[in-house]
């Protein structure tokens, strides 16, 4: 699973074999989630709670790898599902990197309340000016700003601009629309205009 993790973290969009590398890492991580109960050797006399915790850690790492791959493939709903599983199967010691990726995946889907909750959780786990703390704080601020603006902000702005345009075109004395008045005057002038008559012959 170490190989799968390295591939997931190091593969870039510019790599020509990106899809192949992601496919290999996905296969390895998925296999790890299915065989974790049978592929590890347990020392004799090991406490069962320690064994269960170790298996949960391995599952968490495998789901984290799958979530990272889906995030890099821009499949944000899939990334959210795997990253949340990674956190849920090993809740005693969650990885702040996984939670930050979950916050970013939620943010990409416009799920700002959940994204803000996850980002704030990372903020509480990290220090400022650190590789994880800095982007976590930036994401928390961005989600908070999105929530404050609200989904209807653009619609309200458009309505406000239309209202200002209509108001600016009204006569301050009568309140009538100057544009409409101008159109009516032009139309009336066209209707009353008579064709020029020919001069009388001599």
3-state SS string for 31-60: HHHHHCCCCCCCCCCCCHHHHHHHHHHHHH
Residue position matching structure tokens 């593969």? 11
- The three state secondary structure string of the chain is CHHHHHHHHHCCCCCCCHHHHHHHHHHHHHHHHHHCCCCCCCCCCCCHHHHHHHHHHHHHHHHHHHHHHHHHCCCHHHHHHHHHHHHHHCCCCCCHHHHHHHHHHHHHCCCHHHHHHHHHHHHHHCCCCCCCHHHHHHHHHHHHHHHHHCCCHHHHHHHHHHHHHHHHCECCCCCCEHHHHHHHHHHHHHHHCCCCCCCCCC
pTM (predicted TM-score): 0.71
Assess contact for 175 and 166: CB atoms under 8 A.
Answer: no
Backbone angles phi and psi of 170, in degrees to 5: -95, 145
Weakest-pLDDT range from 89-93, 106-110, 127-131, 166-170:
166-170
The answer to whether residue 197 scores a pLDDT higher than 50 is no
Q: Which two tokens stand for residue 8?
A: 């997931």
Most confident by average pLDDT, 36-40, 96-100, 170-174: 96-100
Cβ(89)–Cβ(63) under 8 Å?
A: yes
Write the pLDDT tens digit of every residue in 121-161: 999 999 988 989 999 999 989 888 888 776 544 444 455 55
Q: For residues 28 and 25, what is the distance between their CA atoms, to the nearest angstrom?
A: 5
Q: What is the mean pLDDT of the chain?
A: 80
């Amino acid at each position: 699973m170490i190989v799968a993790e390295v591939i997931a973290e190091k593969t870039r969009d510019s790599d020509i074999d990106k899809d192949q590398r992601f496919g290999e890492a996905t296969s390895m991580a998925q296999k790890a989630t299915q065989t974790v109960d049978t592929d590890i050797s347990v020392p004799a006399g090991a406490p069962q709670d320690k064994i269960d915790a170790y298996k949960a850690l391995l599952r968490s790492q495998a789901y984290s790898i799958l979530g990272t791959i889906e995030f890099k493939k821009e499949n944000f709903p899939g990334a959210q599902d795997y990253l949340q599983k990674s956190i849920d199967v090993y809740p005693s010691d969650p990885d702040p990197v996984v939670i930050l990726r979950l916050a970013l995946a939620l943010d990409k889907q416009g799920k700002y309340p959940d994204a803000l909750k996850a980002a704030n959780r990372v903020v509480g786990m990290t220090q400022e000016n650190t590789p994880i703390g800095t982007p976590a704080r930036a994401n928390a601020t961005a989600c908070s700003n999105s929530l404050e603006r609200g989904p209807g902000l653009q619609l309200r702005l458009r309505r406000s601009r239309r209202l200002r345009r209509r108001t600016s075109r009204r006569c301050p004395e009568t309140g009538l629309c100057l544009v409409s008045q101008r159109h009516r005057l032009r139309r009336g002038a066209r209707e009353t205009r008579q064709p020029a008559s020919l001069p009388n012959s001599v």
